[in-house]
Amino acid sequence: MTGPFDFTLRLGDDALIAAQRLGEWSTRAPEMEEDIALANIALDQLGAARLLLTYAGELEGAGRDEDALAYLRDDREFRNCLLVELPNGDFAVTMAKLLFLSAYQVPLYTALAGCADERLAAIGAKARKESAYHLDHASLWVRRLGDGTEESHRRMQAAVDEVWPYTHELFTPDPAAPVDPATLRADFDATVTAVLDEATLTLPQTSWTPAGGRDGVHTEHLSYLLAEMQVLHRAHPGARW
Amino acid sequence: MTSPREAVAAVVDPEIRVVTIDELGILRSVDEDPATGRVVVTITPTYTGCPAMDVIRADIRRALAAAGHPDVEVRTVYSPAWSTDWISAGGRAKLAAAGIAPPGPVRREGAVPLSLAVRCPRCGSPETEQVSRFGSTACKALWRCRSCSEPFDHLKAL
């Protein structure tokens, strides 16, 4: 059973961890325009995370604000999907992750925009416009790399093979949630299949479906990410700019 | 004395300093309680992660204090979501004059997809191309003119 708090926390954690990972590309992207693009997408994810975590804190009613939720929880208390915490890998892995994340977030936020909860509906209506740009951007790159040179095709296919198993966790049915993730699967599959087809890429045949993020059971990568993200706040609690 | 509405409407956007928050459509409403003198300003962000929002809130308070209204509450609303369609005609003209190509109309779902040429704000040529859909701020994309070779910012439709 999932109440509005758990649901909102999951979405907020997805966006927050995605933002932190994308931010790691700052000053390191393959070209300057891409550096700016990834930082912009990270900023959008961070914006959505702030709105969602602020609301999650209010729903919980225990006095935790966005900062308390972002900086003062350990890995077992985070509810993000495993997909967003995976290391960035090479540029192809980052684009595969962004394609799958945005192909999930666009129908998610669109459905949220029509849900009964006014706050979640407002956040969904705002965030879906931004996610549509993220999906466009990731789709362009996946097509360019997949349908590019022999080497770019090889690496893009390897990235899809590596990341794809982690997408199944996103659609674990939850009929009690404000938006049941299982209802987003068809839209996600249609988007991803169309992009991969055009990119001359294929989905891997594997029955491995890693999961656990929604229950706080994460890969070993998350605690390292949190250590870097939280160190300043934990070393100087309440510090102000 | 300057009215609260006039004072707030004159606040310029901290990232695009040629236009005001009113012309950009960020400013939703300004209401003064006649009994207490308290001014409630409602604004909406262009993008959820827009880093300029804190500066905008501070600038609104400063402008109202200077106009003789020290008791201020700034509220942030997200619904309905901001759209580039809310940028005023005057705002669009100022953007173009500053070398930033203003956004075209937002594509509506279900409509026939029609991409209008983005005109170069320097030479007016429609022969332009997108270099990157993400630019120096969240709301801008980077374009280049094929006629005069100048790169320029384009406020992207949202």
Report the chain B residue with the minimal C-alpha distance to residue A48. Answer: B48
Task: Dig out the tokens for A211 from the structure.
Answer: 């999961």
DSSP B77: -
pLDDT in tens, B103-123: 988 866 554 545 678 999 999
What is the CATH code for A4-202+212-235? 1.20.1260.10
- Residues within 8 A of B (CB atoms), A 131-160 only: 133, 136-137
Task: Dig out the tokens for A94 from the structure.
Answer: 């980052």
Residues (pLDDT < 50) of chain B are 111, 113
Cα–Cα distance measured from residue A227 to residue A40, given in angstroms and rounded to the nearest whole number: 23
Given A37, A48, A126, which is nearest B132 (Cβ)? A37
Digit-by-digit pLDDT tens for chain A (241 residues) are 468 999 999 999 999 999 999 999 999 999 999 999 999 999 999 999 999 999 999 999 999 999 999 999 999 999 999 999 999 999 999 999 999 999 999 999 999 999 999 999 999 999 999 999 999 999 999 999 999 999 999 999 999 999 999 999 999 999 999 999 999 999 999 999 999 999 999 999 999 999 999 999 999 999 999 999 999 999 998 888 7
Which residue, among A65, A60, A53, has the nearest Cα to A13 in the 3D structure? A53
- Coil vs helix vs strand at B82: coil
- Chain A contact present for B81, CB below 8 A: yes
CB B63 within 8 A of CB B8: yes
B72: distance to nearest CA of chain A, Å?
A: 23
What is the pairing mode between strands B128-132 and B140-145? antiparallel
Task: Dig out the tokens for B139 from the structure.
Answer: 């709301």
How high is the pLDDT of residue B115? 60
Cα–Cα distance measured from residue A108 to residue A121, given in angstroms and rounded to the nearest whole number: 11
CB B151 within 8 A of CB A32: no
How high is the pLDDT of residue A2? 65
CB contacts < 8 A, A to B, total 68
Report the chain A residue with the minimal C-alpha distance to residue B109. Answer: A129
Comma-separated ranges of CATH 3.30.300.130 domains in chain B: 4-76
| Cβ within 8 Å, pair B48-A47 | yes
Complex confidence, ipTM: 0.83
Cα–Cα distance measured from residue A39 to residue A43, given in angstroms and rounded to the nearest whole number: 6
CB B91 within 8 A of CB B24: yes
Cα–Cα distance measured from residue B155 to residue B124, given in angstroms and rounded to the nearest whole number: 16
CB contacts, 8 Å: B47 with chain A: 43-44, 47, 130
Per DSSP, what are the bridge partners of residue B122?
Answer: none
B2: distance to nearest CA of chain A, Å?
A: 33
Scan for tokens 């949220």, then name that residue. Answer: A112
- Coil vs helix vs strand at B152: strand
Per DSSP, what are the bridge partners of residue B152?
Answer: B143
Cα–Cα distance measured from residue A198 to residue A12, given in angstroms and rounded to the nearest whole number: 32
> In chain A, what are the domain boundaries?
4-202+212-235
Cα–Cα distance measured from residue B139 to residue A146, given in angstroms and rounded to the nearest whole number: 29
Cα–Cα distance measured from residue B76 to residue B47, given in angstroms and rounded to the nearest whole number: 12
CB A180 within 8 A of CB A174: yes
Question: Is the backbone of residue A101 left (phi > 0), alpha (psi -120 to 50) or beta?
Answer: alpha
| Cβ within 8 Å, pair B134-A51 | no
What is the CATH code for B4-76? 3.30.300.130
| Cβ within 8 Å, pair A133-B80 | no
B49: distance to nearest CA of chain A, Å?
A: 4
CB B76 within 8 A of CB B43: yes
Task: Dig out the tokens for A98 from the structure.
Answer: 């962004």
CB B128 within 8 A of CB B49: no
